[in-house]
Structure 1
């Protein structure tokens, strides 16, 4: 039994083993099969998804930066695999923790800022004052734009972690009410849990896509 509702998000709570963070690299066992087996429909579908992402990220980054798309495609794949693995029983959801999401967001944002301020200082300063801002409001706009820029890694990390926590908490709450329900309501509970699982699958895809796209947009602003 869980000691509290949030113990399912404790890295040391699942099966009482300290190896739960190992699930973060568990997706690696799914990748090499396409290199030595005959391609299947699933691998062909995944390649089409990656090609579509490559074209979209290339459009967002602009010409001359097509190689950078592989970084964001890898980021998308890592988050997507971890989100889906967290939907399986007894597998730790590492993307529900700020320890992982901040580890992904903060170095990316920091590297973009360092690169932008060193190589495109005038361009970065111009971003602090939107075009058409009245001179009287310029100091306030600089403060607002600076704050919004600083909190970007936090918003990226919290958005991903909060969305993963919210769905898991709701499924845990409903699952804990099962033993207290009558037999006639169990079928309703199962149907609700299945619908929530479908919703969580959609959230897993959407949140990994949002994280990768926002990181791409932040990168395009410093070039």
Structure 2
């Protein structure tokens, strides 16, 4: 590697960056659960998706009307992309703000347009929390407006930063391997394995957090 961040470089060709094809590799794993005899892994995955559907339905409320499937698909896409990034020589799409903002910004913008057109009074009421003193109401409107505007940015940065941090740590520790003596190499190997387990947990948690926060944002506009 020429520098520390070269593993996150998306430019591999002149016309179309081939690294971004890693974001659609998860399609190879999907048809197996639908066209073949169900296996234990596919049955477990269907149970997980059913549990997520029920949880998202509870968060959104009785007016979900099947919108939970959007967030279940969003969770699946981010989870597959996070896990594929843990394999060697596979580009992690979710470590770039280009992809995470592409996921977060249209969702947030559609929620805002829907809410302000159909539930204008409800959206205005959200700008002033219940029990706010009258003298603080102008300040609370400003604070709530700013916090609402930065939501897609916080969603995107949270996911990208968590993916970059773990991968950089694994890369840094891996680069110190050739300069280490054989007697302490086992410490590095154990540390790398533990970090890989931690990154697997982060991949699940961050996809779940992204989907749950998107669900909560959508529940506020109905």
TM-score (structure 1 length as normaliser):
0.97
Alpha-carbon deviations, 1:117-146, whole Å to 9, x = none? 000000000000000000100000000000
Q: Measure, in 1, the Cα distance between the counterparts of 2:17 and 2:63.
A: 44
Deviation at 1:203, TM superposition (A): 0.1
Q: Does 1:84 align with 2:83?
A: yes
Over 2 Å off, 4+ runs: none
Change over 3 Å in CA distance of 1:163–1:157 after alignment to 2: same
1:137 aligned partner: 136
Deviation at 1:18, TM superposition (A): 2.9
TM-score (structure 2 length as normaliser):
0.97
Q: Does 1:38 align with 2:37?
A: yes
Q: Measure, in 2, the Cα distance between the counterparts of 1:120 and 1:36.
A: 43
2:219 aligned partner: 220
* Unpaired stretches in structure 1, ≥5 consecutive residues: none
Q: Measure, in 1, the Cα distance between the counterparts of 2:23 and 2:217.
A: 25
Please give the root-mean-square deviation of Cα atoms over the aligned residues, in Å.
1.1
Q: Measure, in 1, the Cα distance between the counterparts of 2:126 and 2:209.
A: 22
Deviation at 1:64, TM superposition (A): 2.8
Number of equivalent positions: 220
Deviation at 1:185, TM superposition (A): 1.0
1:53 aligned partner: 52
Alpha-carbon deviations, 1:2-43, whole Å to 9, x = none? 1111111111269xx930000011100100111111100000
Q: Measure, in 1, the Cα distance between the counterparts of 2:179 and 2:221.
A: 55
Alignment map for 1:1-223 (pairs within 5 Å): 2-12=1-11, 18-223=17-222
Q: Measure, in 2, the Cα distance between the counterparts of 1:66 and 1:27.
A: 27
